Amino acid sequence: MEDDTQIGKISKCDFEEIVDNLYDGIYFADGEGNTLYVNRAYTEMTGLNRDKLIGRNVKDLLKEGVYYNAVTLEVIKQKKTVTSIGKAKKGVEMLITGSPIFSHGGTVRRVVVIDRDISELRRIQRELELSLKKIKVVEKINSKKEQEIEHLRKQQLNNNFIGSSKEMKEILKMISKVAPLDVTVLITGESGVGKEVVANQIFRKSLRNKGAFIKVNCAAIPANLLESELFGYEKGAFTGAINRKIGLFELSDKGTLMLDEIGDMSLNLQAKLLRVIQEKEITRIGGEKTIPVDVRIIAVTNKNLKKMVKQGTFREDLYYRINVFPIHILPLRSRRSDILDLLDHFLKIYNTKYSKEVVIDKRAISVFQRYPWPGNIRELKNIIERIVIISEPHTSITPDDVASLLMMKEERADMSQSKLGLRESIQNVERELIKEALKRGGSTRKAAEILKISQSAVVKKAKKLSIDFNKQQ
């Protein structure tokens, strides 16, 4: 009873202050449609001036084009709640609900209209509908190819790790040991040796394999952007931060985050990463609240972190935190017995991709095995794809073909002592590829088709590289 008395004593000033703090737009009219009151949210939503509305009749406002639609008159006419969707002059889409307040005699004494901004709701609805359409398309594709996808999934789990050398067998053992254990792993090795493949295997065999597996290349993103990518930021944290952004640590929660090229991470960011590993929590840029995260870190680098620690370019405390279980992958030249397995693997992939049946002569295998592979597995993969592309559908690749493609002679197979610079090496590659294409195609037009460039580009490059293309045809 005491509460009722308090409510009854609210002054007009208090009432207006309360209503002005509501999120929804409020409009009051009498039983004749004369405007009695509008709150602040209503004026902001509609862009209409309060002083130009108070005392005005809805009918007059409609005639003047102030309103596009108004439910007040319908409420008075129908004597019941009326709901409509409308747009204000500012383009704001609103859910408009008008309700009658009756006198003791049953006539409409007052009309209360509530306007709710649904622009954001509509945007979310459109995005959801678009997502549902995409999901339906994906489900349709999946239903048709369910058996194929399952077969590919099993192949990925079982056959993606290629290599029968004792070194790779040892790494497989290490993966089996560490994958189920929730510890940080540091994978090192030269560029192209297959560090990401090892990281994939660790994730697949881990207890987190149902969660997210997010990969970020620390070298490819500027330091200031990398911080916002990893930690996220709050709205208004900096110029351009118009919305809150969830960082990769949060998105990886209960999953795994692979930090590729961690050796390129700035010292400032290294300190923040150390705190995440130690405290298992992050703070968004511009935020004050700490957010707990449960993320497994797999760090990957082709750099010597121990040497970097001594040079002061990598934090020693972070090094020991990520080096809980190190896995070092030897370069391909140090495990040449894996080359044959990789040859067979990539040849099957690209024969299938390009609908060909290219085979490699057994004599040519020794050329592959003697080459030092400075680019490791990535280079081997690219060479096999190139061989399949430039070859006729049914071709046996000879030692000379391979030697030519690798810019080497049989007697000069070991190119580890090469003094060529990058530009000269690239020119040699182009020269040999163009010669091979001209030889196989018999004309600059056919060579252009093989190399997937224009005929004029073939002629121009041949002249630049001093290739007598008339002799090659």
Residue 141 in this model has a pLDDT that exceeds 70: no
**Residue 419, SS3?**
coil
Could you give the percent of the chain with pLDDT greater than 90?
38
The DSSP line for 363-410 is HHHHHHHHS--TTHHHHHHHHHHHHHHHS-SS-EE-HHHHHHHTT--G
Give yes or no for a contact between 41 and 22, defined as CB atoms under 8 angstroms apart: yes
∠ CA 214-220-222 to the nearest 5 degrees?
105
Which pLDDT value is given to residue 472? 53
Give φ, ψ of 419 to 5 degrees: -100, 5
Cα(112)–Cα(268) distance, integer angstroms: 57
The length of the chain in residues reads: 473
- Whether the pLDDT of residue 407 is over 70: the answer is no
**Looking at residue 426, what is its pLDDT?**
66
Of 460 and 330, which is predicted with more confidence?
330
Segment 49-59 shows an average pLDDT of: 87
**Whole-angstrom Cα distance, residue 259 to residue 229?**
12
**DSSP string covering 171-212:** HHHHHHHHTTS---EEEE-STTSSHHHHHHHHHHTSTTTTS-
Give residue-wise pLDDT tens across range 149-164: 444 444 444 446 788 8
Q: In this predicted structure, what is the pLDDT of residue 340?
A: 92
- Residue by residue, DSSP assigns 326-363 as EEEPPPGGG-GGGHHHHHHHHHHHHHHHTT---EE-HH
CATH architecture, range 335-472: Orthogonal Bundle (1.10)
pLDDT recorded at residue 425: 60
Is the pLDDT reported for residue 171 higher than 50?
yes
- The 3-state DSSP composition of the chain as helix, strand, coil percent (nearest 5) reads 50, 15, 35
> Residue 195 pLDDT more than 60?
yes
Higher pLDDT, 174 or 456: 174
Is residue 368 within 8 A of residue 343, CB to CB? The reply is yes
- Contact assessment for residue 330 and residue 189, using Cβ atoms and an 8 Å cutoff: yes
The answer to which of 67-76, 132-141, 218-227, 432-441 has the lowest mean pLDDT is 132-141
Banded pLDDT at 399 (limits 50, 70, 90):
confident
> Which residue in the block uniquely carries the two structure tokens 């004369």?
34
Q: What is the pLDDT of residues 64-99, one digit of tens each?
A: 877 767 788 888 889 899 888 877 666 677 788 889
Q: Cα dist. 55→30, 34, 59, 69 in Å?
A: 10, 6, 12, 18
Residue 257's pLDDT is 96
pLDDT of residue 423: 62
Chain centre distance of CA 81: 47
Percent of the chain predicted with pLDDT > 70: 86
* Predicted pLDDT of residue 153: 46
So where are the chain's domains?
Answer: 11-120, 165-330, 335-472
Residue 249 pLDDT > 60, yes or no? yes
pLDDT at site 149: 43
265 pLDDT higher than 90: yes
Q: Is 194 left (phi over 0), alpha (psi -120 to 50) or beta?
A: left
Poorest-pLDDT segment among 15-24, 410-419, 420-429, 460-469:
410-419
- Judge: domain 165-330, CATH 3.40.50.300: yes
**Neighbouring C-beta atoms of residue 40, cutoff 10 Å:** 16
Residue 51: pLDDT band (50, 70, 90) is confident
Range name among 4-13, 383-392, 409-418 with the lowest pLDDT average: 409-418
Q: What's the confidence (pLDDT) of residue 421? A: 54
Strands 93-102 and 82-87: antiparallel
Instruction: Give the pLDDT band of residue 203 (cuts 50, 70, 90).
Output: very high
The per-residue pLDDT for 277 is: 94
> Per the structure block, which two tokens stand in for 96?
């408009």
Query: 333: which 2 tokens?
Result: 């030249």
Superfamily of domain 11-120: PAS domain (3.30.450.20)
Give the chain's end-to-end CA distance (angstroms, integer). 105
Structure tokens at 263: 């050796």
Q: Residue range 241-252: average pLDDT?
A: 88
pLDDT of residue 156: 46
Only one residue has tokens 């790790």, namely 161
Q: Which of the given ranges, 216-220, 365-369, 435-439, has the highest pLDDT on average?
A: 216-220
Distance, C-alpha 204 to centroid of its chain: 20
Q: Span 248-261, mean pLDDT? A: 95
Instruction: Answer yes or no: are the C-beta atoms of 303 and 328 closer than 8 Å.
Output: no
Region 102-112: what's the mean pLDDT?
89
Global pTM value = 0.55
Position 148 scores a pLDDT of 47
Does 388 have pLDDT greater than 80? yes
Structure tokens at 180: 């189920």
Is residue 420 scored above 60 in pLDDT? no
Task: List, in sequence order, every residue forming a beta bridge with 115; answer none if it has no partner.
Answer: 25, 96
Question: How high is the mean pLDDT of the chain?
Answer: 83
Instruction: Return the minimum-mean-pLDDT range out of 132-136, 290-294, 456-460.
Output: 132-136
Inform me whether the pLDDT recorded for 325 exceeds 80.
yes
